[in-house]
Amino acid sequence: MKKRKVPLRKCVGCQEMKNKKEMIRVVRNQEGEISLDFTGKKPGRGAYICPKQECLKKAEEHGGLERSFKTFVSKEVYQTLQEELVHDE
Contact 33, 73 (CB under 8 A): no
Question: Does residue 89 register a pLDDT over 70?
Answer: no
Rg (CA), the chain: 13
2 located within any domain? no
Task: Output the DSSP codes for the chain.
Answer: -PPPPPPEEEBTTT--EEEGGGSEEEEE-TT--EEEESSS--SSEEEEE-SSHHHHHHHHHHTHHHHHHTS---HHHHHHHHHHHHHH-
Q: What is the mean pLDDT of the chain?
A: 91
Quote the number of domains for the chain.
1
- CATH number of the domain to which 48 belongs: 3.30.1230.10
Whether 83 is in a domain gets the answer: yes
Q: Is residue 82 part of a domain?
A: yes
The answer on pLDDT for 11 being more than 90 is yes
The whole domain housing 65 covers: 8-88
Q: How far apart are CA 17 and CA 28, in angstroms?
A: 21
- 3 assigned to some structural domain: no
Whether the Cβ atoms of residue 34 and residue 65 lie closer than 8 Å to each other:
yes
Q: Has residue 27 been placed in a domain?
A: yes
For residue 18, being part of any structural domain is answered with yes
1 located within any domain: no
- Amino acid at position 83, single letter: E
Q: What is the pTM of this model?
A: 0.86
